[in-house]
């Protein structure tokens, strides 16, 4: 029996058993519980790039590596960009950064994913720790807030069985249908929902005085802040009746509550404020550092661990990268031509750059634009280690197979380091052991992060004086303009743009279209034609296009969140023609 772990960018970080050419979920592993999801289940059947290519012609791997080396040498004094995505979540994927740092390339910083929310959490708590699933299992109430559990985090389901479930989501998702209460709020109104909850809680004196006294800071300013909003304005912005918010509050009060917050709440310019406000509401109710309580976002899984692959000094924010400003661009484990905001600009930039290389597993919009395409080894053919942003288990990924296709990130780096006369790499096992040993301990058969010994924030927060800092000011101009809100979440059968990608624009029945119609969707950033699927799960003011759908990011803004340098995919209104 051979064991490894799923390499995909996902909360669940499943432990995998590879037997008779098949991938199976490890039955003994606490979170994996013996099953995998549709994405990893199609991994082995997904056609890979099997031959390197230069200017459209198939070439040998040896020739591809020569071309890469020659081109990097000839452009050495010119601007170059190293762009790495999350196609494979293994820590060793970053080894290529050692070469590109020595070479002098510009790196990216910030996030296409969870960066805005993370920034808000850091402001209040000083570190972003998620709740171990075993801790969530002790909650009485689970608030699923902008996270599509059954799709993006399905291994959480067994932990929240038989609990009071409150879902806060503009879409009637699968879990919303089954929930005790679904707040089908207007998109981009979470800040107001959280302020309203805090306001009603304050009026009814529901706050946890002992917690606030011992563990909180800036409480009085927070009270001034939540009272500074006119009640009527708050109600109008949430788009749901006040009674629903009060019902939620009554369910939460006095019960152990876990808030499972996803990226859905923070794909906006003010995303950091949303998380800061949700945190502040939870803290006011005393829902931190106690059994079964907490706000669990996408955690910083590397917290406390040593990272041997640090960034270069020269960096640019990832959501607004201008590919056209570089002579050479090296893209690894990513599909920016479809996954970055404002696709038209990204594609134009990639066409303008003089030498683009794409290092990945699959053909996609980006490989189609690259001068040089280098196939990678898949996760069974190289060794690695991964963390999870949804639990505290660490998974080593053993090399289980030799393959004829592709090259590993380690081998590609070793070769470039040698040809350029840079420092020799250590064996890959040395890096892996260093990472693991820096902060892991054994629990039975599995390793866990030491940062998760005990309930997170039980003893302290990670701010300067170890207290939680309540929010006391938020600036947000809101989203103006006519049109529909654009919701662009994860789909069940694709992992962003890998595997079976969605292809429709989902419209509410009131839009007046039928299934299969064509519709041109426009925003101030661009337009694209989609096929229609009428979707009753939507509010009348929203349309939904899943992440990975070809064309979705023609509509989205190439702008940064106020904090966290994150993409703000949903800070846009769209119109239909």
Q: How far apart, in Å, are the Cα atoms of 225 and each of 92, 193, 214?
A: 45, 14, 21
- Told to check if 113 binds Mo ion by CB under 5 A, we report yes
71 part of the interface to ligand MGD, by CB under 6 A: no
Q: By CB under 6 A, is residue 98 in contact with ligand MGD?
A: no
Should residue 298 be labelled a site residue for Mo ion when binding is judged by CB under 5 A?
Answer: no
The distance of closest approach from Cβ of residue 362 to Mo ion in the complex, given in angstroms and rounded to an integer, is: 17
Under the criterion CB under 6 A, does residue 251 sit at the interface with ligand SF4? no
Q: Which of residues 546-575 bind ligand MGD (CB under 6 A)?
A: 547, 552-553, 556, 569-570
Separation of alpha carbons 275 and 261, rounded Å: 8
Site for ligand SF4 in 142-161 (CB under 6 A): 154-155
Calculate the CA 71 to chain-centre distance.
33
Q: Which is nearer to ligand SF4, 89 or 222 (CB)?
A: 89
**Can you say whether residue 421 is alpha, beta or left, with left for phi > 0 and alpha for psi between -120 and 50 degrees?**
left
- Tell me which residue has tokens 């979540």: 89
385 binds ligand SF4 (CB under 6 A): no
Per CB under 6 A, the list member of 5, 13, 67, 112 interacting with ligand MGD is 112
Q: By CB neighbour count within 10 A (0-12 exposed, 13-18 middle, 19+ buried), where does 468 fall?
A: buried
Distance between CA atoms of residues 365 and 330, nearest Å: 15
d(CA 81, CA 557): 22
Rounded Cα distance, 230 and 220, in Å? 18
The residue within the footprint of ligand MGD, chosen from 31, 257, 269, 332 (CB under 6 A), is 332
Q: Is residue 425 involved in binding ligand SF4 (CB under 6 A)?
A: no
Q: Which does 563 bind (CB under 5 to 8 A by kind): Mo ion, ligand SF4, ligand MGD, none?
A: none
Quick check: 188 binds ligand MGD (CB under 6 A)?
A: yes
Told to check if 380 binds ligand SF4 by CB under 6 A, we report no
Q: How many residues are listed for the chain in this entry?
A: 577
**540 and 170 in contact (C-beta within 8 Å)?**
no
Q: Is residue 6 involved in binding ligand SF4 (CB under 6 A)?
A: yes
For 394-407, b/e burial (b = at least 16 CB within 10 A) is bbbbebeeeeebbb
The CB density around residue 76, as the number of other CB atoms within 10 Å, is 13
Q: Which of 4, 31, 80, 86 binds ligand MGD (CB under 6 A)?
A: 86
CB closer to ligand MGD, 216 vs 319: 319
Residue 12 interacting with ligand SF4 (CB under 6 A)? yes
Question: What residues make contact with Mo ion under the rule CB under 5 A?
Answer: 113
Question: What residues make contact with ligand MGD under the rule CB under 6 A?
Answer: 7, 9-11, 39, 85-88, 112-114, 145-148, 151-152, 168-171, 173, 187-188, 190, 262-265, 332-335, 339, 359-362, 364, 376, 379, 487-492, 494-498, 547, 552-553, 556, 569-570
């Amino acid at each position: 029996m051979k064991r490894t772990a799923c390499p995909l960018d996902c909360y669940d970080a499943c432990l995998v058993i590879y037997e008779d050419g098949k991938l199976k979920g490890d039955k003994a592993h606490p979170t994996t519980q013996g099953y995998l999801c549709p994405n990893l289940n199609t991994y082995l059947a997904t056609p890979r790039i099997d031959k390197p290519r230069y200017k459209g012609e198939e070439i040998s791997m040896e020739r591809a590596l020569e071309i890469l080396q020659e081109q990097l040498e000839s452009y050495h004094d010119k601007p170059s960009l190293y762009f790495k995505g999350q196609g494979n979540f293994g820590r060793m994927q970053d080894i290529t950064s050692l070469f590109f740092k020595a070479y002098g390339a510009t790196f990216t910083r910030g996030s296409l994913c969870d960066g805005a929310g993370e920034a808000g959490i850091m402001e209040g708590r000083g570190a972003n720790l998620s709740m171990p699933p075993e801790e969530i299992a002790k909650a009485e109430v689970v608030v699923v807030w902008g996270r599509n559990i059954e799709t993006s985090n399905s291994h959480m389901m067994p932990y929240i069985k038989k609990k009071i479930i409150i879902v806060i989501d503009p879409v009637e998702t699968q879990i919303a249908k089954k929930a005790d209460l679904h707040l089908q709020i207007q998109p981009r109104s979470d800040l107001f929902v959280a302020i309203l909850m805090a306001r009603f809680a304050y009026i009814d004196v529901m706050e946890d005085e002992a917690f606030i006294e011992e563990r909180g800071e800036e409480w009085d300013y927070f009270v001034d802040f939540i009272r500074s909003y006119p009640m009527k304005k708050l109600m109008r912005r949430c788009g749901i009746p006040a009674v629903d918010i009060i019902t939620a509050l009554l369910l939460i009060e006095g019960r152990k509550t876990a808030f499972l917050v996803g990226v859905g709440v923070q794909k906006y310019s003010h995303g950091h404020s949303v998380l800061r406000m949700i945190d502040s509401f939870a803290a006011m109710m005393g829902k931190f550092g106690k059994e079964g309580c907490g706000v669990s976002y996408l955690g910083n899984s590397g917290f406390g661990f040593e990272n041997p692959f640090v960034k270069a000094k020269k960096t640019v924010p990832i959501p607004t990268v201008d590919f056209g400003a570089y002579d050479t661009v090296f893209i690894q484990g990513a599909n920016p031509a479809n996954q970055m905001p404002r696709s038209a600009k990204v594609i134009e930039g990639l066409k303008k750059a003089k030498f683009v290389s794409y290092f990945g597993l699959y053909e996609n919009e980006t490989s189609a634009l690259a001068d040089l395409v280098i196939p990678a080894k898949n996760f069974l053919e190289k060794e690695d280690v991964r963390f999870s942003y949804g639990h505290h288990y660490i998974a080593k990924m053993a090399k289980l197979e030799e393959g004829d296709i592709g090259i590993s990130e380690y081998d590609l780096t070793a070769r470039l380091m040698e040809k350029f006369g840079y420092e020799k790499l250590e064996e890959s096992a040395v890096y892996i052991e260093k990472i693991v040993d820096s902060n892991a301990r054994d629990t039975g058969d599995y390793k866990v992060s030491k940062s998760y010994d005990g309930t997170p924030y039980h003893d302290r927060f990670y701010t300067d004086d170890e207290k939680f800092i309540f929010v006391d000011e938020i600036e947000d101009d809101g989203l103006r303009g006519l049109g529909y809100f654009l919701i662009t979440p994860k789909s069940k059968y694709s992992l962003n743009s890998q595997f079976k990608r969605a292809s429709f624009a989902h419209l509410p029945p009131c839009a007046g279209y039928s299934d299969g119609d064509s519709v041109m969707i426009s925003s101030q950033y661009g337009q694209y034609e989609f096929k229609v699927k009428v979707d009753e799960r939507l509010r009348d003011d929203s349309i939904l296009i899943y992440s990975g759908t070809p064309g979705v990011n023609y509509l989205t803004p190439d702008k940064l969140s106020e904090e966290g340098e994150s993409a703000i995919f949903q800070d846009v209104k769209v119109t239909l023609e």
